[in-house]
Amino acid sequence: MTEANDSSGSEANNNSMVRARGLKTSFGSRVIFDGLDMDIPRGKITAIMGPSGTGKTTLLKHITGQLKPDSGELLVDGKNVTQLNREGLYDLREEIGYLFQNSALLTDYDVYENVAFPLRQHTRLPEVLVRNIVLTKLQAVGLRGAAKLMPAELSGGMARRVALARAIVFDPMLILYDEPFVGLDPIALNQVLLLIRTLNQTLGITSVLVAHELAAIQQVADHVMLVANGKVVAAGDPRSIADDGSPWTRQFFGGESDGPVPFHYPAADYAAELGLGEGA
C-alpha cells in the first residue's frame, strides 16, 4: 500500500509543475489562502482567475519564493520552495521567467540592453554570445528591428513583447504572467496571445497567467482555476467554466454584485457609526 501511494505521489509531482497542498497565508487578520490545494500541469497554459484581492499575485510570489506562506507545502518542479535556502532559490528563479504587469522595463536602457540585463547580471558570457541570445529572443517576439529603441518610444504592446523577450532569455521551464493583457489594444492583445501560445508550444514550457479577461483566456489557456475565499472554488475548461452553474462562477463571470464575494468590506454597524443609534 505504501509503495502504491509513493508511486502515485511521485507521478503527480512529475505531471505537475506547481503543486500546492494546504497553503495558508495571512496578512495580519486578513486571510489570503486558507488551505489552498492546486496542481498546475507541465507543458500547459493555466490561467488563475478570481476577484481582486484574492491572492493571485501573492500566489506568483509564493512560486518564486519572494513570499513564504504561513504553512503548507508548495512544490515547483518537485522542489519544496518553502524549504530552499538562498542559493537554492536563486537557482530556481533562473528557471522561471516573470512578466510583470507594467512590463518593468529599465527606462534608461534601450530594448537590446533591457533584454541583455539578466545575462550581464548573472553570467560571464562573452559579448558575442550575449548578442546572439538577445537578438534570438527579440526575433522570437518580432522586435529584432527595435533593438535600439528606448522604452519611451515603444507602444504598450511592444513594451510587453520586450518584457517577454527578457523573461525567456534563460530559456525557462516556467513563465509567470501577471496581468499580461492590461492596457492593450485589440491588435496588441492578439499579438501577445499568439506569442504566449507559440512560445509555450515551441519551447515546451509551462505558463501560468493571472488575468481577468475571460475572452482572452478562452483563446489561449488550456485550463483555468478560479480562486476565491482562500481556495480554488472552480476549475475546468476556459470555454465552459463560466457555465458550470456554481455561485462563484456565476458571480465572477456574470459581474454580479451579490454572491459569495461580498460587495461591502467588513465594517461596524452603519447606523451606529453615523451616530444614529443601533437599528436606526
* CATH number, position 152: 3.40.50.300
In the prediction, which pLDDT does 147 show? 95
> If pLDDT is split at 50, 70 and 90, which confidence band does 44 have?
very high
196-240 residue pLDDT tens: 998 888 888 999 999 888 889 989 999 999 998 889 988 888 888
Indicate the pTM of the whole model: 0.81
* pLDDT surpasses 90 at 116: yes
Mean pLDDT on 97-107: 86
Residue 113 lies in a domain: yes
In the prediction, which pLDDT does 2 show? 46
Residue 228 lies in a domain: yes
11-24 residue pLDDT tens: 556 789 999 999 99
> If pLDDT is split at 50, 70 and 90, which confidence band does 7 have?
very low
Residue type, 54: T
| Residue 207 to residues 50, 131, 195, Cα–Cα distance (Å) | 17, 26, 12
242-268 residue pLDDT tens: 777 676 676 666 655 555 565 556 677
pLDDT higher at 103 or 115: 115
Containing structural domain, residue 141: 16-253
In the prediction, which pLDDT does 1 show? 43
173-185 residue pLDDT tens: 999 999 888 888 8
Residue 262 lies in a domain: no
Residue 218 lies in a domain: yes
Domain count, the chain: 1
Q: Which of 33-47, 124-138, 187-201 has the lowest mean pLDDT?
A: 187-201
Residue with cell 554570445: 129
Residue 137 lies in a domain: yes
